[in-house]
Each structure stands twice: as C-alpha cells, then as structure tokens.
C-alpha cells in the first residue's frame, strides 16, 4: 500500500508502507480479492529458510542485513544494489556470493517512434542452495545440553569428519541495520 492513503505524521505520500507479510499460499488466495482495491500493492521479498534448524542453528547460519553505502563502494565487483539484503554474519556472509547469485539487467533506448531497442543485457545468475551436514535432532540436543553453561560442544562424524552439531554459549547479540533504525536480537546459541 502506498502512503498517500495513510494519514500518519511523518509518512510521505509516495512511500510504500507494508501492512502485512504473507506466505506465497496466502498471497495466491488474497491477490484476486485485494488487487482490485485502489492503493493495494504487493511487493515480493525473497527470503531464506532453514527448517528444521531455525532456532538451534542461528549462530551457524548467521543473518541477513541491508547493503550499506560503504559495502557498495568497497565491493563494486559484487554488483550490490542499494536496499538489497545480503549475508552479514555466519554462513549467510561467508557463502553469500553463492547464495545470492547476481542481478541481471536489460538496457533499452526508446526513440521517438516508440520502438524499444535493446542496447545491453546481462543475464540473471540464480543463487545456489547449500546443504549442511548438521543433524537437526543432534543440534537441538547439543544446544539443550549447553543450557546456561559457558563453553562449546561439537559433534563430528568420526568416518567423514562432517559436523553434525555445533553449539556454544553464552549467546551473542547481533546488531542489524534495517530501514527505520537498528534492531538488536539474540543470535541464538553462540
């Protein structure tokens, strides 16, 4: 929904104001009903999911955050776009190039006759999936064993060396910058 239809101090009329976050299933169900209403717009936001490890592996998976102007200047080869959300810690950060992929574009010139001419094109490079060797049940148990103790617990597969569980305490606090200010949240068990 654009802010022109919302009367609130500090909200400018051209802003997009998110009112709700929907799953794809909810979107498909509500789109035919809501789209005809003037002022209702949908914006798709890509996100990453980590089932069933969400709460027990946050310290491993890391977190996402918006690209800063400093990052755009420091890493031009990564084709960061202002407002893009990228990995800022953990595997999200160390594997960001593979997970994120690269944006593409098409650059057109439209002469007065109205026929677009494609001048340049760069194809989209889709992000990849990565698989962890963590065992969800072992990871949960490792975190529960650590409880309030200070220390670390690592479970490896003796044959392959694969990491099956990785827990450490006490939890850290992660500071992330999003539009509207900084948010602070526990990183899970770290």
pLDDT tens for 132-147 read 899 989 999 999 999 8
Q: Which helix (H) or strand (E) holds 29?
A: helix 24-34
For 33-45, how does the pLDDT look when each residue is reduced to its tens digit (9 = 90+)? 988 888 787 877 7
Q: How far apart are the first and last CA of the chain?
A: 38
Confidence of residue 10 (pLDDT cuts 50, 70, 90): low
Q: What angle do CA 37, 40, 45 make, to 5 degrees?
A: 145
Number of continuous H segments (helices) and E segments (strands) in the chain = 6, 8
Question: What does the alpha-carbon distance between residue 32 and residue 161 come to, in Å, rounded to a whole number?
Answer: 51
- The residues near 23 (Cβ < 8 Å, ≥ 6 apart) are none
Q: Is the pLDDT of residue 53 over 80?
A: no
Q: Going from the N-terminus, what domains does the chain have, and what CATH number goes with each?
A: 1-45 (no CATH), 46-186 (3.90.1310)
Query: What pLDDT, on a 0 to 100 scale, did the predictor assign at position 4?
Result: 44
Section 83-97 average pLDDT:
87
Question: How many CB atoms lie under 10 A from the CB of residue 40?
Answer: 15
Q: Is the pTM of this model over 0.75?
A: no
């Amino acid at each position: 929904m654009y802010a022109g239809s919302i009367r609130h101090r500090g909200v400018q009329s051209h802003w997009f104001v998110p009112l709700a976050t929907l799953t794809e299933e909810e979107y498909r169900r509500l789109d035919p009903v809501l789209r005809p209403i003037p002022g209702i717009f949908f914006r798709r936001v890509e996100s990453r999911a980590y089932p069933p490890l969400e709460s027990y592996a946050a310290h491993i998976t890391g977190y996402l955050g918006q690209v800063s102007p400093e990052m755009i200047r420091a890493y031009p080869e990564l084709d960061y776009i202002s407002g893009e959300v990228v990995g800022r810690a953990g595997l999200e950060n160390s594997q960001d190039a593979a997970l994120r992929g690269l944006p593409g574009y098409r650059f057109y010139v439209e002469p007065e006759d109205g026929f677009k001419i494609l001048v340049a094109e760069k194809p989209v490079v889709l992000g990849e999936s990565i698989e962890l060797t963590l065992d969800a049940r072992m990871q949960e148990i490792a975190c529960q064993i650590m409880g309030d103790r200070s220390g670390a617990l690592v479970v490896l597969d003796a044959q392959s060396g694969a990491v099956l569980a990785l827990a450490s305490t006490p939890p850290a606090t992660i500071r992330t910058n999003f539009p509207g200010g900084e948010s602070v949240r526990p990183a899970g068990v770290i």
